[in-house]
A and B are shown apart, each in its own frame.
Chain A
Amino acid sequence: MDYWKTNIGMKTPTLFICLLLLSSLSMGQAKYGTKTGAILFEASVASFEEVKAQNENVSAVLNTSNGEFAALALVKGFRFKVALMEEHFNENYMESSQFPKAVVKGSLKDFEMSKLTEGVSEFMLKGTITIHGITKPLETLVQIKKIENTLVLETEFILKPEYFEIEIPKIVSNKVAKEVFVTATFSLSN
C-alpha cells in the first residue's frame, strides 16, 4: 500500500513545520540578555596609583534552555580615573583600535532554569576568553540569583596580561600587578 499517500502521510510535514515553528518560538523566549552589564578590573599595586577600570555597557546573553553564555565588552568602553592611564591601556597595552572586543563564550555546566531561586545558585562556566586577539580557555564559578524576571549573574576571576601577549613596559611594570582581578555582574532579562 502506498502509505505515504494516505492522509496521515500528507499531514505529517505540516505538523512537523508547526512543531519546528513552536520550538523556535520557545527558543527565542529562552534567551535572557543585557546591554548594560558591568565589568570591573583591578591591577593595583599597593602604594602606587590605583590601576582600575570599569565598563558598564557590556552585552551578555544566556540561553536558559541549554546554559550557553556569551559576553562582549568593547575595550574602549573601559573608563579609568586617570586619563593618561586610559590612553596607555587602549593604545599601548590592549591596542583597542586593532582589537576592539573582549569576548567570553561558554556554557554553564548542568544549568537548569528551574533550579534557580532568589538565593545564590552556583554553576561552573566552561569556555573561552578572547582578549587582544588571543583566545584562551576560561573556567569560572558563576553565581546566579533569580529576582522576579531578572537573572543576576556574578563572577570573578584572575587573568594574566602575559597570557594574552600584552606587554607591560619595564618602566611601569612594578606599578601594574602581574595578576588582574576581574569581576563581572550581569542583570539579564528577556
Chain B
Amino acid sequence: MKKKIVFLIVMLVLVVGAYTGYKYLYKDHRNITKEVAILETSAAQLQAQFQNDLAVGILNKTIQVSGVVTEIEGKTLTIDEKVHVSFTKEPTALQLGNTVHIKGRCIGYDDLFDLVKIDQAILTK
C-alpha cells in the first residue's frame, strides 16, 4: 500500500515536471494582436523619435500608428513615407491615400530608407 502511494507521488511529480518543462520550451509566440499598445502616435512623430534618439523603450513593443498610406507592396505598406508596416495577413481594400490606424511590433529603424519598421501588424480601424 505504502509503495503504491510513493509510486503514485513520484509519477505525479514526473508528469507535472515534464509538462511544465514542455510548456517552457515550447511556449507560444507573443500574440501582438491581443497585446495592448504602449504608445499611440503618428508616423511622423514615431520617425522623429527614432531620428532624434528618443525612441527609448519602443523597440520590440506593441505600438499603434496612424497616417496616410503612401505605398502598398504585398503584405506591407508604407505610412507617410516614414513607417513601413508588415501585416500578418494581407490587408484587403486598401488604397493609396487612405488614412490607416495600425497596431504592431516595432522592430527598429532602417537607415537605408529612413523608415521605422513594424511587423505582425493588424488594422485597428
Contacts and interface: CB of A to CB of B under 8 A. Distances in A.
Interface of A: 33, 35-36, 56-57, 59-61, 70-72, 74-77, 82-84, 86, 90, 96-97, 100-101
Contact of B73 (A36, A96, A100): A36
Interface of B: 24-30, 59-60, 73-76, 78, 84, 86, 105, 107-113, 115, 117, 119
Contacts, number: 68
A97 B59 contact: yes
A70 B112 CA distance: 8
B84 A97 contact: no
Given A35-B73, A57-B86, A57-B119, A72 B110 contact: yes
A74 B103 CA distance: 19
B84 A57 contact: yes
B112 A72 contact: yes
A181 to B, nearest CB: 23
27 contacts: A33-B112, A35-B76, A35-B84, A35-B110, A35-B115, A36-B73, A36-B86, A56-B86, A57-B117, A57-B119, A59-B112, A72-B110, A72-B112, A74-B108, A74-B117, A76-B59, A76-B60, A76-B108, A77-B107, A77-B108, A77-B119, A83-B28, A84-B24, A84-B27, A97-B59, A97-B60, A100-B107
